[in-house]
């Protein structure tokens, strides 16, 4: 079976990871053979009778380090099965911080990935040097293992595969797609706890609704993520008009 996208996750907890990624949208996409996510138990590839995959670090120190050979044997099995070297990512606090641009790049440039989940004090550097193509981090913090970052990367990449979501607009209009945060969203009922849905969203005037959403996205990005706002290209006539409207509205409110 040829899938549009195939992700392999090397982990010590394949059941937990697999169950999570077989639910909801990704689960339905797998049922329709659009994507496939396989979890591989690293312990199955060790020659140690106790299924040990870690040992004390050379040079001393606390904790243990995942050994290179079980990781390599698991990685080699996947590549042999795929008939090629598969782009391999190690989820690591030392990696570059994952962004939406990375999700788009990984979906665009590859049709399969191997995600390696580390544990303990990390993995033997020699495995990284020989088999890993890039290291990715979720942010400037440390987790007990790589499973949560691997699931996040798998989810972010797979949802961009054509057919996984019902319509490209499901992700094109979301936060981070074009450098903006998404505008506020509302659903029924029209009034909840004395708070009303903005009248413009009830007007049925699609052009005005689109304009309102764009304005709200600009405001939200400016106020919550000034770092993103500084990088925005708002030079179009439509955006310049919105910026003038925003300035005028804020000036009017400040005088009240």
Band (29; pLDDT cuts 50, 70, 90)? very high
Q: What is the pLDDT of residues 99-146, one digit of tens each?
A: 999 999 999 999 999 999 999 889 999 999 999 999 999 999 989 999
Q: State mean pLDDT over 192-213.
A: 95
Considering 158, 193, 216, which residue would you say is the last residue of a domain?
Answer: 158
Contact present, 56 and 45 (Cβ < 8 Å): no
Residues 61, 127, single domain; the answer is yes
pLDDT in tens, 142-187: 899 999 999 999 999 999 999 999 766 544 554 455 788 889 999 9
Which CATH number goes with the domain that contains 220?
1.10.1270.20
Does the pLDDT at position 49 exceed 90? no
Residue 236, in any domain of the structure: yes
pLDDT band of residue 27 (cuts 50, 70, 90) is very high
CB 94 within 8 A of CB 140: no
Residue whose C-alpha is closest to residue 8's, from 142, 153, 163: 153
List the CATH number of the domain containing 71. Answer: 3.40.1280.10
Q: Is residue 102 part of a domain?
A: yes
Q: Of 169, 148, 153, which Cα lies nearest the Cα of 107?
A: 153
**Number of domains the chain is built from:** 2
In a domain, 29, yes or no: yes
Q: What integer is the mean pLDDT of 17-45?
A: 95
- Beta strand 88-97 with 134-137 is parallel
DSSP H or E stretch at residue 113: strand 112-117
Residue 3 has what pLDDT? Answer: 84
Coil, strand or helix at 164: coil
In terms of domains, do 182 and 144 share one? no
Q: Is residue 187 part of a domain?
A: yes
CA distances from 105 to 98, 158, 197, 199 (A): 11, 12, 37, 39
Same domain, 76 and 40: yes
Domain boundary among 91, 126, 158: 158
**What's the pLDDT score for residue 173?**
52
Q: How far is CA 154 from CA 10, 66, 136, 188, 221, in A?
A: 12, 22, 12, 32, 26
Residue 67 has pLDDT above 60, yes or no: yes
Identify the domain containing residue 34 by its residue range.
Answer: 5-158
Could you read off the pLDDT of 222-238 as tens digits, one per residue?
999 999 899 999 999 99
Q: Would 168 be classed as within a structural domain?
A: no
Cα dihedral 99, 100, 106, 108 sign:
negative
Query: Domain ends where: 130, 158, 186?
Result: 158
**Sign (positive/negative) of CA torsion 41, 72, 35, 159?**
positive
pTM summary value: 0.84
Coil, helix or strand at residue 106: helix
Indicate whether 15 pLDDT > 50. yes
Is the pLDDT at 1 greater than 80? The verdict is no
């Amino acid at each position: 079976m040829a899938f549009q996208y195939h992700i392999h996750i090397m982990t010590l907890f394949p059941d937990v990871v697999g169950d999570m990624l077989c639910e909801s949208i990704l689960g339905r996409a797998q049922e329709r053979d659009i994507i496939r996510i396989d979890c591989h138990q690293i312990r199955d590839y060790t020659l140690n009778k106790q299924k040990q995959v870690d040992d004390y670090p050379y040079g001393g120190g606390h904790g243990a380090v995942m050994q290179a050979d079980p990781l390599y044997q698991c990685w080699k099995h996947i590549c042999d099965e795929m008939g090629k070297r598969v782009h391999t990512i190690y989820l690591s606090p030392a990696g570059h911080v994952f962004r939406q641009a990375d999700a788009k790049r990984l979906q665009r440039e590859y049709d399969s990935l191997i995600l390696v989940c580390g544990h303990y004090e990390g993995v033997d550097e020699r495995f990284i040097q020989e088999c890993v193509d890039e290291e990715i981090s979720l942010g400037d913090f440390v987790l007990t293992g790589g499973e949560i970052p691997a699931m996040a990367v798998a989810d972010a990449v797979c949802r961009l595969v054509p057919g996984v979501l019902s319509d490209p607009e499901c992700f094109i209009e979301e936060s981070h797609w074009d450098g903006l945060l998404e505008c506020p969203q509302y659903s029924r009922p029209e009034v909840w706890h004395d708070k009303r849905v903005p009248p413009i969203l009830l007007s049925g005037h699609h052009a005005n609704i689109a304009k309102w959403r764009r304005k709200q996205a600009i405001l939200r990005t400016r106020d919550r993520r000034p770092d993103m706002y500084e990088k925005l290209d708002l030079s179009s006539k439509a955006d310049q008009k919105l910026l003038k409207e925003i300035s005028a509205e804020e000036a009017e409110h400040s005088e009240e």
